[in-house]
């Protein structure tokens, strides 16, 4: 008797159009996604763009844009040893972090190579949430060996989350009745009743502009989306995808995994991983707090100064230096690094990039070899690069409390 083919479940998803899994907001994002352009982020359908990435990008700079960050991995650390365990794992001093605040962090191997970066939420004295782009549970469990009173759980699917970014984002939240949200300071957490439970709002984001991240029970996700877009029509609300977010984060001076750096546990070739110092993250490496994973190796690297540097570059001309090789010398005789991200910035009105450069060439001059098309013919251009020591985009409203109702 021939075997009977198994039927697909009624809720099966066509992976060509919508990815493998649906986030709690998918019924709304898919309806708005004219392009039906999706990426696979941790097994979930994540919109690349909805209509035009430039329109979505300008919403982050002029009105309000919404990005579904639900596919981000979220982990809960609880117990009397949670603080000590995390303090041993990450490079910042967790003991100094106050309750209801968020801190950017990285964690490294014993060799001082970055495994991943993320945001650490301190919800109580013995309760933390750590959010990162890629799965890290195995490393967290390994890092907890020797700590008796710490529980680690993957809560990624238990929380739906949206990034609400742009100059009218605070005004929109106030219009929704979240009284006092304008007093929320950068990297602070506040809570409001919503739906069947609670809405947690953190003044955080990945655009460098005024913005918030909203954390809610998946059962209340659609209601939250509908409330935002119903009231948000008066505030220029737009959904945004990964392409526009990537533009905004580069202007803001934020690094991206698998773009600026490769996680140390996933690299194949030697020296293709990175240290915090190479990525410009020396400001979050605290050698005063005592031992943490990678401390000895990082201290040696700091003392030697012999490490690559990820530089913010302002490049002459208007042709983005995507995938460019960087050189030293007027005649470009020495290859010294490469561009990781590049774009023409609409708000900065500059040709900007991130470039990873060998230490001894940091002070320049640095040149980028750019290839671009002119009437279908490829043209080679060598452009001078100027090192920029601050984010390309950092408006005052991003830090102002209360922020203006732009």
**Structure token pair of residue 258:** 């698998």
Q: Which residues sit opposite 119 in a β-bridge? A: 104, 131
From the number of C-beta atoms within 10 Å of its C-beta (0-12, 13-18, 19+), residue 13 rates as middle
Phi and psi torsions of 20, nearest 5°: -85, -45
Nearest to 79 by CA among 175, 169, 153: 153
Gap between the Cα atoms of 213 and 201, Å rounded: 6
Phi and psi torsions of 360, nearest 5°: -75, -5
Gap between the Cα atoms of 33 and 42, Å rounded: 20
Residue 278 marked in a binding site: no
Gap between the Cα atoms of 121 and 110, Å rounded: 24
- Tally of CB atoms within 10 A around 136: 20
In eight-state DSSP terms, residue 195 is T
Gap between the Cα atoms of 253 and 54, Å rounded: 19
Can you list the positions of beta strands (E) in 159-235?
A: 160-165, 189-194, 197-202, 211-216
Radius of gyration over alpha carbons of the chain, in Å?
A: 22
Annotated binding site for substrate: 213
Annotated binding site: 213
């Amino acid at each position: 008797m021939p075997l009977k083919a198994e039927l697909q479940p009624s809720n099966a998803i066509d992976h060509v159009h919508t990815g493998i899994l649906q986030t709690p907001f998918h019924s709304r994002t898919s309806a708005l996604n004219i392009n039906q352009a999706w990426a696979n982020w941790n097994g979930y359908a994540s919109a690349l763009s909805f209509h035009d990435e430039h329109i979505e990008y300008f919403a982050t700079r002029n009105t309000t844009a919404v990005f579904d960050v639900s596919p981000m991995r979220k982990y809960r650390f609880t117990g009397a040893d949670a603080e000590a365990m995390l303090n041993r794992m990450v490079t910042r001093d967790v003991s100094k972090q106050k309750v209801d605040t968020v801190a950017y962090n990285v964690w490294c191997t014993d060799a001082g190579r970055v495994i991943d970066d993320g945001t650490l939420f301190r919800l109580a004295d013995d309760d933390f949430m750590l959010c990162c782009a890629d799965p890290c549970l195995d490393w967290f469990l390994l890092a907890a060996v020797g700590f008796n009173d710490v529980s680690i759980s993957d809560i990624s699917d238990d929380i739906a989350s949206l990034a609400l970014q742009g100059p009218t984002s605070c005004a929109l939240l106030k219009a929704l009745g979240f009284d006092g949200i304008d007093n929320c300071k950068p990297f602070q957490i506040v809570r409001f009743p919503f739906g069947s439970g609670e809405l947690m709002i953190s003044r955080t984001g990945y655009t460098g502009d005024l913005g918030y991240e909203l954390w809610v029970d998946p059962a209340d996700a659609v209601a939250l989306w509908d409330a935002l877009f119903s009231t948000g029509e008066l505030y220029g609300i737009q959904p945004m995808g990964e392409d526009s977010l990537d533009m905004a984060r580069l202007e803001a001076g934020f690094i991206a995994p698998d773009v600026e750096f490769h996680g140390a546990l996933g690299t194949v070739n030697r020296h293709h991983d990175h240290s915090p110092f190479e990525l410009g993250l020396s400001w979050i490496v605290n050698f005063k707090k005592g031992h943490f994973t990678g401390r000895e190796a990082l201290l040696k690297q700091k003392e030697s100064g012999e490490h690559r540097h990820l530089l913010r570059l302002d490049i002459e001309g208007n042709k983005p230096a995507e995938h460019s090789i960087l050189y030293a010398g007027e005649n470009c005789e020495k290859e010294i690094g490469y561009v990781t991200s590049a774009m023409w910035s609409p708000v900065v009105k500059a040709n900007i990039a991130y470039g990873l450069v060998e230490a001894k060439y940091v002070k320049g001059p640095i040149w980028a070899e750019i290839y671009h098309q002119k009437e279908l013919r490829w043209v080679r251009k060598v452009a001078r690069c100027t090192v920029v020591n601050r984010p390309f985009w950092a408006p005052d409203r991003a830090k102002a409390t209360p922020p203006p109702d732009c």
